[in-house]
Amino acid sequence: MKKMATSCYQWFLWIATILLIAVVSQGQLTTDFYDSTCPQAATIVKQKVDEIVDADKGMAAGLMRLHFHDCFVRGCDGSVLLNSTNTTIAEKEALINNGSLRGFEHIDDIKMELECACPGVVSCADILTMVARDSTVKLGGLSWPVFLGRIDGSSSLADEVNSSLPFRTYNFSQLVATFAKVGLDTKDMIVLSGGHSIGQLHCGAFFERLWDFQGQNITDPSMDPDFAESLKAQCPRDNPLLFKGADSTNATFDAVYYSDLLTHKGLMDSDVALMSDPLGVEYAIKAVQDPYSFLLEFGMAMIKMGNIPASDPYGWRKNCAVIEPCSN
C-alpha cells in the first residue's frame, strides 16, 4: 500500500510539475537553476535545516512562515529579511511581524554556508523557498519541486505589510480577497492555511475568543468547551504574551488542523473563518478523510505561492539583511 501511495505521489508530482512549468517558466524560474553554478546548494540548505529543526522543532514553522510573509509583500524577493535603515522601517518591524517572525539568524547562517561554497550565486529569496520546503518535509510533509532563480529585492517597507498580509481577525471573504491580490485562489487559501498545523502562537492571537468574545467578557460559544478550558489553563487572562502550540500532533505536519476546525478547536478567527463557507467545510472534510491529498496539494500551492513575482527585483544580496548585491 505504501509503495502504491508513493507511486501515485510521484505520478501526481510529475503531472502537476508539467502543468506548472508553463506558469513558473514565465518568471524564468527552473528546478535546475543552480545545477551548474552551485550544484550543492540544495544539499547545503537541507543539511542546515535538518540541524536547525533537530535542535528546535518549533523553528520549522518559523522558517516556513518567513517564506509566506516574504511572498505576500512585494512578491518573493527576500525583502522580509532586510533590516531597517536610517530612512526606512523594514517589514520585519511592522506590527504584524515584530516579535512574531523568527529564524532570521538561521537564514543568515545558511547564507554564509552558501557564500563559502558558491560566492555571489544563491539569492536570499531562493533560500527562503528551499528552507520552507525542507522544514515542511522535516516534520512529515511531502516534498515538492522547488523552482529557483529569484532575484532579491531592494526595498522593505513596514507600511506595505498591513495592506498585504492576511490578519488573524479576517473573515472568509477578506481572506479570499487578500490571497487574490497575489494571484492565489480560494482553494490555495484554504490549503495554505494548513500551514498552521505546526508552530506556536501568542495567546494574544486568540485572547478575545477565549476571554472577551465580542467584548462581552465571555468565551466564544462556538469553541469546544473542554478545549476552551484547556486553553485557559495555558493562556491565563492576565498573560496574553505566553505561547500556545498551534498543533495537536506533537510537531507533525499533517491534516489534523482541519480535524480541529471541524470539531470547533480552531484558534484564530481566521482559522475558524474557513468553516463559515461551504468550500472550507468541504475541503476540511476531504483533508480529514484523505490526509495524503492535503499533503500533495499543499506542495502544489506552495509552488504557486513561490511564483509570486518580485515587484522590484534588484540583485543577489551577499548579506540577506542589507542592500549589498553580490557582484556576478
Which residues carry out catalysis? 69
Question: What number is the average pLDDT over the span 252-258?
Answer: 95
- pLDDT at residue 327 greater than cutoff 80: no
Instruction: Say which amino acid occupies 133.
Output: R
CATH architecture group of domain 40-165+308-315: Orthogonal Bundle (1.10)
- pLDDT at residue 13 greater than cutoff 70: no
Write out the CATH class of domain 172-306.
mainly alpha
Q: CA-CA distance, 237 to 239, in Å (whole number)?
A: 6
Lowest mean pLDDT among 49-63, 64-78, 307-321: 307-321
Per-domain residue ranges for the chain?
40-165+308-315, 172-306
- pLDDT at residue 88 greater than cutoff 50: yes
Binding site annotation covers 136? no
Q: Packing angle between helix 2-24 and helix 291-305, nearest 10 degrees?
A: 20
Q: What digits encode the pLDDT tens for the residues 208-245?
A: 999 999 999 999 999 999 999 999 998 998 887 777 65
Give the pLDDT band of residue 100 (cuts 50, 70, 90).
confident
Binding site annotation covers 238? no
Is the pLDDT higher at 254 or at 327? 254
Average pLDDT, the chain: 90
Is the pLDDT higher at 280 or at 313? 280
Binding site annotation covers 75? yes
Quote the pLDDT of residue 174: 98
- pLDDT at residue 328 greater than cutoff 50: no
Binding site annotation covers 50? no
Question: What number is the average pLDDT over the span 272-295?
Answer: 97
